[in-house]
Amino acid sequence: GAVVSQHPSWVICKSGTSVKIECRSLDFQATTMFWYRQFPKQSLMLMATSNEGSKATYEQGVEKDKFLINHASLTLSTLTVTSAHPEDSSFYICSARNRQNQPQHFGDGTRLSIL
Amino acid sequence: DQQVKQNSPSLSVQEGRISILNCDYTNSMFDYFLWYKKYPAEGPTFLISISSIKDKNEDGRFTVFLNKSAKHLSLHIVPSQPGDSAVYFCAASGWAGNMLTFGGGTRLMVKP
């Protein structure tokens, strides 16, 4: 149980393009989903927390207009990187959990490369 | 300042023996701790967790120990198997387990 699916796993696109990444909880209802970013040789850094049906809470230094998060249902959250530039190239990974003080379960991540 | 540290970047263990992975934290507000296992090109897989009201939690071959006074936790894997070879991350959070702070990971290699 507790499977989280993330799609796409790898995307390459031109600078200026907007890219949408999907995160789905397949066998549980995710009241809260989290989006992380990982730079090379560094650990996962939380970008934002989203609760179903409400606006995401962004961590300090994360541009909310750049990284649009939607959590419209209990099984789906999306992260849209708007007008992506090479410095946005990174590994993005989502996690989900069904209630507080329960473990977060992670997707397999999306490697985003902006040319 | 790293609030969660895994000081050993790698660990090599013989199959059948015990693997002990260590993690230290500095934030006394952390009260929920987790261990994740990660294979290349996959997301972290949850292994085991412990809340600050306990000092030990066991699940099969995996046991997590928490020493709050020392701000230290460890993951014991007994017996170690080659399939356990992966990168192990400890993570910590405050109330409600929202913001996870991860350690840098320890690569475990279990030799047959």
pLDDT value, residue B95? 67
Do A103 and B102 make contact, defined as CB atoms within 8 angstroms?
no
B46: which strand partners? B36
pLDDT band at A102 (very low <50, low <70, confident <90, very high): confident
Distances A73 to A20, A26, A65, A76, A89 between C-alpha atoms, Å: 16, 12, 21, 5, 27
pLDDT value, residue A2? 83
- Give chain B's mean pLDDT: 93
User: How close does chain B come to A16, measured CA to CA in Å?
Assistant: 26
Do B44 and A106 make contact, defined as CB atoms within 8 angstroms?
yes
pLDDT value, residue B79? 98
Question: Which is nearest to A67 in space by CA: A86, A90, A89, A84?
Answer: A84
Dihedral over Cα of B72, A101, A4, A51: its sign: negative
- Give chain A's mean pLDDT: 92
Q: Picking from A49-53, B56-60, B81-85, which range would have the lowest pLDDT averaged per residue?
A: A49-53
CA closest to A40 among chain B residues: B104
pLDDT band at B1 (very low <50, low <70, confident <90, very high): low
As a whole number of angstroms, the distance between CA A21 and CA A79 comes to: 5
DSSP code, position B102: E
pLDDT value, residue B99? 80
